[in-house]
A and B are shown apart, each in its own frame.
Chain A
Amino acid sequence: MSNDNAAPSSSSAAANGSADSAAPRRNSKRPKYSKFTQQELPACKPILTPGWVISAFLLVSVIFVPIGVASLFASRDVVEVVDRYETACIPPQNRTNKVAYIQSSSNKTCVRVLTVPKRMKAPIYIYYELDNFYQNHRRYVKSRSDQQLKSNSSQNDTSTCKPEDLVNGTAIVPCGLIAWSLFNDTYSFSRGNESLNVNKKDISWKSDRDHKFGDNVFPKNFQSGGLKGGGSLNESKPLSEQEDLIVWMRTAALPTFRKLYGRIEVDLNIGDTINVTLGNHYNTYSFNGKKRLVLSTTSWLGGKNDFLGIAYLTVGGLCLFLAVCFIIVYLVKPRRLGDPSYLSWNRSPGGR
């Protein structure tokens, strides 16, 4: 309609002069047509039809159950030897006051015997597991100085490290509660009389060694304050080579966690007995923390953890169950979608 109107007026605009000068301007006010401005972009409008929903649930269960099974198998393939030793490594006579024992300077060596339940293929990872240890505590997790760890020049950058920042006015390297509480139990393994070599190289992340811990930063004043926390460090080795520290400083998100201690690079056979000579130094007794030694192989999913497999099977099973339920309900009580009688204004008694 507008075009019909516009055509004569614009053609006569020149002749009539000012009278019609408004005509073109008028037309320019007309909004431009585009699918976006008119909200008419082609759209796909799916609705939840029984067919779609039931097949979606079936599909999910079909995918989830096999993944669950695979995960569970992966987890079951992992061979794990766990030994809880925090009480066992305290001489019975000291068990009434464990804290005093661990803080004393007596010899805390202890021997544990492990039996390999299944053949374990190299590499076998050695973890220590701590329990009820809040590496994620706010006071703890923030008490570190990444600048100081990285470069020698920011040695005095200890402001974030309180209360383990300075000793006698000079900076502690590495400073902070995390480093100060470094885990210091030691393990050495032997099978029969043959001692097993523990490879402690490359147990930390390569990126940490290369970029977060400097190779020109050497420990200084470490554990020389009044209160000794955990382990001490070899002052002649730069931080980038102190792998136990690097591992320890990757704080755990949970109060129960395992950290890599080293690797045994020979296969262990079923029934092998492993003697572990333990240096039980670390104090978990004041907060009733457990300590465990874990030898574990690994799978494509990581260590032994049934959670994923079970969760997948549960979700898959639930989806299957829902799908079956929906099918049954659909068959028993079919319901026409979009039935006009569901609209209340079509049911109103005042109608016809």
Chain B
Amino acid sequence: MKRYVYINDDESPTQDLYCDNRISNRKYTVWNFLPKNLWEQFSRFMNQYFLLIACLQLWSLITPVNPASTWGPLIFIFAVSASKEAWDDYNRFLSDKKANEKEVWIVKHGLKKPSRAQDVRVGDIVWLRENDEVPCDLVVLGTSDPQGLCYIETSALDGETDLKTRGIPSACTGIDSELLHKIKGVIECPNPDKDIRRFDANLRLFPPFIDNDVCPLTIKNTVLQSCYLRNTEWACGVAVYTGNETKLGMSRGIPEPKLTAMDAMIDKLTGAIFVFQIVVVVVLGIAGNVWKDTEARKQWYVQYPKEGPWYELLVIPLRFELLCSIMIPISIKVSLDLVKSLYAKFIDWDIEMFDQETGSSSHATNTAISEDLGQVEYIMTDKTGTLTENKMVFRRCCISGTFYGNESGDALKDVRLQNAVASGSPDVIRFLTVMAICNTVIPVQSKNGNVLYKAQSQDEEALVQAAAKLHMVLFSKSGNLLEIRFNASAIKYEVLDILEFTSDRKRMSVVVRDTRDDKIFLLSKGADEAILPCASAGQQTRTLNEAADQYAQLGLRTLCLAWRELKEDEYQEWSLMFREASSTLVDREWRIAEVCQRLEHDLEVLGVTAIEDRLQDGVPETIEMLRRAGINFWMLTGDKQNTAIQIALSCNFISPEPKGQLLLIDGKTEDEVCRSLERVLLTMRITSSEPKDVAFVVDGWALEIALKNHRKDFTELAILSRTAICCRVTPSQKAQLVELLKSCDYRTLAIGDGGNDVRMIQQADIGVGISGREGLQAARAADYSIGKFRFLKRLILVHGRYSYNRTAFLSQYSFYKSLLICFIQIFFSFISGVSGTSLFNSVSLMAYNVFYTSIPVLVSVLDKDLSEKTVMQHPQILFYCQAGRLLNPSTFAGWFGRSLFHAIVVFIISINAFAYEKSEMEEVAMVALSGCIWLQAFVVIIETNSFTVLQHLAIWGNLIGFYIINWIVSTIPSSGMYTIMFRLCSQPSYWITIFLIVGAGMGPILAIKYFRYTYTPSKINTLQQAERLGGPILSLGNIDPQQRSMEKEVAALSITQPKGRNSVYEPLLSESPSGTRRSFGSAAPFEFFQSQASRLSSSYSRNCKDN
């Protein structure tokens, strides 16, 4: 499907075909809000259930209590989420309105007129001035620049802050700005899509503007919605996509909500409770009907009619269904939403995760999945920009066999290189020329005369900077003309073509014409394996290969630079093909790559550059700590194998021999890969019982074969291996790997910083983006964005762990309290003729779930079982969260039993203490209710590990609040408990009964808890005891002397450096002996929380309950 855009054609019928430029991000309109919102809310099972219950309650024959007791909370909960939605939508409406009413200049009937942004239609010519925001996707037709260039800032689109160049199509060059008003033509472009890097279209102008030639259009000719025009006086373009059909509009969309493992578990438990409820209802329903037929007929005062209606048999079961409906707490959803947003806030607020350097704090975009952070089992990490700083510094180079910078570690300071430059050695000059020209860097003259570089690629910027330091300055770039200055002389080159970098080609080239002698050159740079095969036949590439290997060994990024002089006719011939390929609409990228290949051969390789990418602060420590916490790390990088392995070694990712072992999966053909995979798998199976750190390395090619043909084997390998390095992988392979681990039921976390990580971040259970130098794309797509990799340990160990613990308590407690009151109702039905009478009145039932019991438990979000320091010292404790030890069917059974026990205690004591003459229903109900409230307060107390002021306030305040509320309600004659609370509170027997309930209810709980705590303590308990008593556990010396020595060494290292943040980095290069030793030393004391063998059985251990 294609779209034809007729430029500036007011009568064109196509105008109405496409939507106008009204942006609408709204989900609702005023009219459909209520039905649509309700529909959405009722598509959830829980809500359907509650609605059914609420509807059943309207039938007064079966309702045990006032329908308000369900309708009230239901409406409240619905109103809360509906008004939240409405508020969000209203804000979206306001921002849409602002955008839609922005003034833009449109050409109408040959005249430029101001208009509202929403009135732009497809085919209109839109005029932009400097710093204007682009209202829709435009194809640029003219700019103030004579070459037809303009600069745009695309940060709103992809988060990249550097300026990008856009140019007019060749057909439009030279058209006078006045004539642009009258331009007519047609653009043939694909239907709207969301690919912001691709726009494969053709333009044909109508006479009198040039001939009917088809002119290809690329993304370079477009300015997309929400970009800003910069450094350009004006530009005009024709609207091709408008409104919600723009590239930005299409890429918008609500991502699938992620469900945490914990939510899934809670849903499962809810289902179990539901089944239990049905069983109870059926049993009691049958019992009720039997009792009715045998006993109730004799109870003359009940006046059961002889013949009932047809539904007679259903009445009692339905009554019990309603009575038991509180088993599933209606408040749990609200409570969970509330505490989850607080967890997210805690992450946002955390000052220790604030990145001083970029001034960015951590942010939880997805507020619903904090618990999952505590359950992470696999971390898939990107390398560049994630583990490293992505701050490229040119370090070494090898020019025609001569190594520079090997001694000093900095080629720029190498005297020999400086001399070579000064003496004008032709090889070196050419090398520097390629460094300076072969790129897409935009030089910008600043006011004080310096040249600043705006680059999309950090590597290119580093090369250009380095060239400038060596006196080869890329001075200006205007249109096709670029000027470099070597020493004092200016040299101008005309850029003829740019053969762009793609991740498949792994190289980029430019074709330039030297204006001095009109010679045409092809300048290339790229990965060594992409350049060296293209070298001319006679050239010795061995030294270059060695150089590249040697640099990679040091963890440096290498690029080969090459060049070739082109014959004029060769170029012309190729140029035609290239043009043709560039204007194809289908498979353009592939066609271009093919054409480029035809030019990039017989290259003369000039040399190799080595760029250092520093490791971020604290990366080795973070990885080591998280691995001790039982998390497995996979490194997925687009970088080459050697570099990846070196980085992996230096950041504790893998251990050096003999502690660690690297297994390589490689091969070019399918057979080779298959054999290598089997070999690795075999080794892995053998070594899995040894406490050895085995990792496998796989490259993109082998990975593709393995994933396609040997998925089963590879999956087994993935499960066996704690560590893996996948190099040379594409974004989609990253996502596939995540998918693979997810399919094995592991919780995965993907962390990355660049656009190439977006897919894996979205795919993973938890996506973490580093708001780094490669733009904010990853951070935007992610669930959490952090400033530095080292914050990950805090995110997981502190925030993830606390969130898990807190939610585990909160959710189970919610069930406990609902079951408690429900059990009492069930017991009461046995002494009320199994007739479905509710012991409690409507007000109490409603307030029980909503007020009395929800506040104390909500402050459990402040509970900390262990201090942050202890957790950091013993990251192994995360295992409890990973294995789901705190919320699983067996812990739930414990809570179930507890609520049953407490219900028995409350029920037995209240009906016996208030027997005979005191057996007044309203009084007994309030005694039982007070008993429940007191017990639940004490349960919260006994389960709370740390009491802050707020907790005391909530727990005791809630108890006092209970009495105050009930006293108030007791003054209302129609409340069903008129004067009851006053009456009870003045009786000593009431207080004695409550006291007894608390004693009898909590005594055994405390005894069991104490016994477990002391004699079969969980690791958490042990650490708690150690922490509070200052036990020996916390002085690491006793346990882990090696560790401490390592930490000492780290301390010593950091002391030698000044306090500034820039200097705290650890050089990657192994030349500093302490650095190497450190990385070895810290890798040595690896300990596995689970041995390799037990990993396999983790599915069992997951269900085991420890405490």
Contact = CB atoms under 8 A, between A and B. Distances in A.
Contacts of A42: 948-949
A345 B303 contact: no
A340 B924 CA distance: 50
A136 interface: yes
A158 to B, nearest CB: 14
Given A300-B988, A345-B876, A45 B947 contact: yes
Nearest to A160: B60
Interface stretch (B211-219, B667-675, B905-913): B905-913
B313 interface: no
Contacts of B909: 311
Given A205-B979, A300-B988, A352-B1042, A137 B837 contact: yes
B303 A163 contact: yes
Contacts of A30: 351, 354, 359, 361
Nearest to A255: B831
A315 B1007 CA distance: 13
Nearest to A1: B356
B64 interface: yes
Interface centre among A48, A67, A257, A335, by most B CB within 10 Å? A48
A348 B946 CA distance: 31
A91 interface: no
Interface string B1051-1064: 00000000111000
Contacts of A221: none
A137 B948 contact: no
Contacts of A141: 832, 837, 921
B360 interface: yes
B435 to A, nearest CB: 28
A339 B909 CA distance: 41
B1087 A351 contact: yes
Given A229-B301, A253-B919, A138 B835 contact: yes
Contact of B295 (A29, A205, A287, A339): A287
A252 B919 contact: yes
Contacts of B276: none
A305 interface: yes
A148 interface: no
Nearest to B319: A138
Contact of A252 (B360, B921, B950, B996): B921
Interface in B1077-1097: 1087-1089, 1091
B296 A137 contact: yes
Interface in A129-145: 129, 133-141
A315 B1009 contact: no
A254 B918 CA distance: 10
Contacts of B989: 301-302, 308
A306 to B, nearest CB: 10
A185 interface: no
B1014 A2 contact: no
B80 interface: no
B89 to A, nearest CB: 27
A212 B979 CA distance: 11
Interface centre among B832, B1059, B1091, by most A CB within 10 Å? B832
A138 B424 CA distance: 106
Interface residues of B, number: 106
A135 B782 CA distance: 62
Given A205-B979, A348-B1088, A31 B1003 contact: no
B916 A258 contact: yes
B1024 A47 contact: yes
B925 interface: yes
B851 interface: no
B973 interface: yes
B839 A253 contact: yes
Nearest to B345: A37
A260 interface: yes
B917 interface: yes
B301 A140 contact: yes
A315 B999 contact: yes
B1010 interface: yes
Contacts of A163: 303, 305
Contacts of B913: 305, 307-308, 311
B568 interface: no
Interface stretch (A50-58, A191-199, A236-244, A264-272): A50-58
Contact of B1013 (A48, A287, A339, A352): A48
Interface in B967-1001: 973-974, 978-979, 983, 987-989, 992-993, 995-996, 999-1000
B889 interface: no
A43 B915 contact: no
Contacts of B41: none
A136 B837 contact: yes
A180 B951 CA distance: 52
Interface stretch (B260-268, B588-596, B1032-1040): B1032-1040
A303 interface: yes
Contacts of B298: 286-288
Interface stretch (A105-113, A166-174, A318-326): A318-326
Contacts of A350: 691, 1087-1088, 1091
B914 interface: yes
A297 B348 CA distance: 67
A335 B915 contact: no
B1091 A48 contact: no
Contacts of A254: 831, 911, 915, 919, 924
A291 to B, nearest CB: 14
Nearest to A28: B359
A230 to B, nearest CB: 8
B1027 A343 contact: no
Contacts of B361: 29-31
A39 B950 CA distance: 12
Contacts of A339: 1022, 1026, 1031-1033
B205 to A, nearest CB: 40
Interface centre among B300, B345, B350, by most A CB within 10 Å? B300
A101 to B, nearest CB: 15
A308 B993 contact: yes
A218 interface: no
A67 B992 contact: yes
A64 B1014 contact: no
B920 A338 contact: no
B946 A44 contact: yes
B111 interface: no
Nearest to A40: B868
Contacts of B993: 308
Interface in A1-43: 1-2, 5, 26-27, 29-33, 37-39, 41-43
B918 A48 contact: no
Given A39-B862, A50-B1014, A287-B300, A259 B359 contact: no
A92 interface: no
A62 B862 CA distance: 34
B488 interface: no
B349 interface: yes
B76 interface: no
Interface centre among A37, A140, A322, by most B CB within 10 Å? A140
The 10 closest A-B pairs by CB, nearest first: A338-B1026, A338-B1025, A338-B1031, A26-B359, A350-B691, A37-B349, A181-B301, A43-B946, A337-B1025, A138-B835
Interface of A: 1-2, 5, 26-27, 29-33, 37-39, 41-50, 53, 56-57, 60, 64, 67, 71, 125, 127, 129, 133-141, 146, 150, 163-164, 177, 180-181, 205, 207, 211-212, 229-230, 250-260, 283, 286-288, 296, 300-303, 305, 307-308, 311-312, 315, 318-319, 322, 326, 329, 335-340, 342-346, 348, 350-352
6 contacts: A256-B916, A286-B300, A287-B295, A338-B1023, A338-B1025, A348-B1088
Given A138-B832, A212-B978, A255-B831, 19 more contacts: A1-B1061, A29-B361, A44-B947, A60-B1003, A67-B992, A71-B992, A205-B983, A251-B920, A260-B917, A286-B300, A288-B298, A300-B988, A315-B996, A337-B1014, A343-B876, A345-B874, A346-B1039, A348-B1087, A348-B1088
